């Protein structure tokens, strides 16, 4: 029954996989352009696969007490706020105090908050979507004080930051997030997508996502990147209405897809789409390559100008952040655990505010910590 349900989802999305019988025209497009067929199959497998979100298998017992500070790049960002909530939950479970400081969306504000955190000499610091390379001088101060630092989206890829002193950067594989989003666009359009990419190149992860999106779309013969919009993510609500109006005016029906690095841009574009008389299920179809927060899910459930998102297990990431800090404090190596992202459409939006898989990860971390 589960497999049958997923195949029906494929038809509903217009994913154009031959096995689903979703349309002869889509099959012809797939035969004409191998990249379309590859995208169709990859998307179908993404929806079907069951992943392990249970976290690492072992690690050190809980280190005693102490203050941990979560320095958020911008608490108005749903992904950062979701990871922070997970870290708060995990800190309570392990028996630590966790305070949150807000960098308020600017590099200068993030630096001020991070410096304030270092001055408090905590047992550990978490960077919440703050680029570790940009703040490496402050991180050197933390290292000199022997304050371990971990990050969430603090670099382009997950893992240790050998040049920044970051013990571990918790994230899904960014390239996989982008691949899932871009493949969805190619499959959903049957290889005939006019796309505007929206990013924030102030951050290396934003630049990397946009470059990879464009590269993937170039492999699709019938797809076109109409434009890349580089706009500050923290100003999405203020700037996207005017940007979206201009895009609609200039590209008209050629604009079929809005491919963004974060759902905040979709929320910002909504007002202009409504003003233009576009209904919630009309093009341009918005697909966000991260982070799958509550606002993304609300728009998907309501069919409110968003078609898909690639979600990360934000709450699980919060627990992993605390676990990685515990490993650093215990003198143990990082876990090396990397949770996979998941493509979410209206057909399978999770019930909760975030994608929080029922994998038993909380119990596993408690067992590792002996809590």
What is the arithmetic mean of pLDDT over 297-310? 96
CB 319 within 8 A of CB 362: yes
Cα distance between residue 211 and residue 129, in whole Å: 19
Cα distance between residue 361 and residue 371, in whole Å: 13
Cα distance between residue 247 and residue 96, in whole Å: 48
CB 365 within 8 A of CB 58: no
**Exposed, middle or buried, 331 (CB in 10 Å: 0-12/13-18/19+)?**
exposed
Q: What is the pLDDT of residues 76-131, one digit of tens each?
A: 999 999 999 999 999 999 999 999 999 999 999 999 999 999 999 999 999 999 99
pTM of the model: 0.88
Cα distance between residue 248 and residue 325, in whole Å: 47
Residue 293, classed as helix, strand or coil, is coil
Cα distance between residue 102 and residue 124, in whole Å: 16
Find, among 312, 215, 229, the residue nearest to 269 by Cα: 229
pLDDT score recorded for residue 32 = 62
CA 131 → CA 70, 268, 298, distances in Å? 14, 24, 28
Residue 179, classed as helix, strand or coil, is helix
Residues in the chain: 371
Average pLDDT of the chain to the nearest whole number: 90
How many CA atoms lie within 13 Å of 259's alpha carbon, on the beta-carbon side?
35
Query: Omega of the bond prior to 297 within 30 degrees of 0, cis?
Result: no
Find, among 236, 230, 231, 232, the residue nearest to 214 by Cα: 230
Whether 135 has a pLDDT exceeding 60, the answer reads yes
The ranges assigned to domains in the chain are 67-173+313-339
Whether 238 has a pLDDT exceeding 50, the answer reads yes
With a CB cutoff of 8 Å and minimum separation 6, the contacts of 137 are: none
Q: What is the pLDDT of residues 178-221, one digit of tens each?
A: 999 999 999 999 999 999 999 999 999 999 999 999 999 999 99
Domain 67-173+313-339 has CATH 3.40.630.10: no
pLDDT score recorded for residue 348 = 87
């Amino acid at each position: 029954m589960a497999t049958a349900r997923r195949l029906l989802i494929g038809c509903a999305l217009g994913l154009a996989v031959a096995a689903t019988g979703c349309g002869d025209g889509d099959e012809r497009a797939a035969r004409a352009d191998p990249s379309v067929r590859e995208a169709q199959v990859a998307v179908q497998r993404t929806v079907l696969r069951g992943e392990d979100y249970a976290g690492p298998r072992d690690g050190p017992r809980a280190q005693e007490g102490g203050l941990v500070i979560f320095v958020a790049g911008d608490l108005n960002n749903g992904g950062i706020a979701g990871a922070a909530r997970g870290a708060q939950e995990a800190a309570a479970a392990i028996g630590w105090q966790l305070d949150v400081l807000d960098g308020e969306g600017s590099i200068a504000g993030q630096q001020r908050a991070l410096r304030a955190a270092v001055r408090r000499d905590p047992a550990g610091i978490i960077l919440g979507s703050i680029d570790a390379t940009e703040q490496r001088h402050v991180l050197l101060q933390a290292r000199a004080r022997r304050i371990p630092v971990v990050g969430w989206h603090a670099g382009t890829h997950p893992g240790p930051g050998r040049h920044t002193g970051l013990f571990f950067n918790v994230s899904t594989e960014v390239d996989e997030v982008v691949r899932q989003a871009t493949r969805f666009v190619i499959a959903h359009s049957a290889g005939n997508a006019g796309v505007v990419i929206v990013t924030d190149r102030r951050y290396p992860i934003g630049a990397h996502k946009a470059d990879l999106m464009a590269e993937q779309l170039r492999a699709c013969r019938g797809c076109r990147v109409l434009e890349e919009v580089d706009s500050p993510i923290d100003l999405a609500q203020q700037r996207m209405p005017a940007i979206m109006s201009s895009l609609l005016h200039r590209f008209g029906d050629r604009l079929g897809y809005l491919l963004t690095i974060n759902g905040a841009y979709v929320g910002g574009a909504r007002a202009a789409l409504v003003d233009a008389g576009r209904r919630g299920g009309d093009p341009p179809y918005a697909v966000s390559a991260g982070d799958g927060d509550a606002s993304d899910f609300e728009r998907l459930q309501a069919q409110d100008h968003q078609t898909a998102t690639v979600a990360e297990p934000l709450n699980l990431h919060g627990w992993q952040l605390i676990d990685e800090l515990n490993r650093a404090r215990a003198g143990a190596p990082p876990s090396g655990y990397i949770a996979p992202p998941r493509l979410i459409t209206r057909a399978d939006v999770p019930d909760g505010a975030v994608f929080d898989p029922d994998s038993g990860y909380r119990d596993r971390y408690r067992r590792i910590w002996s809590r």
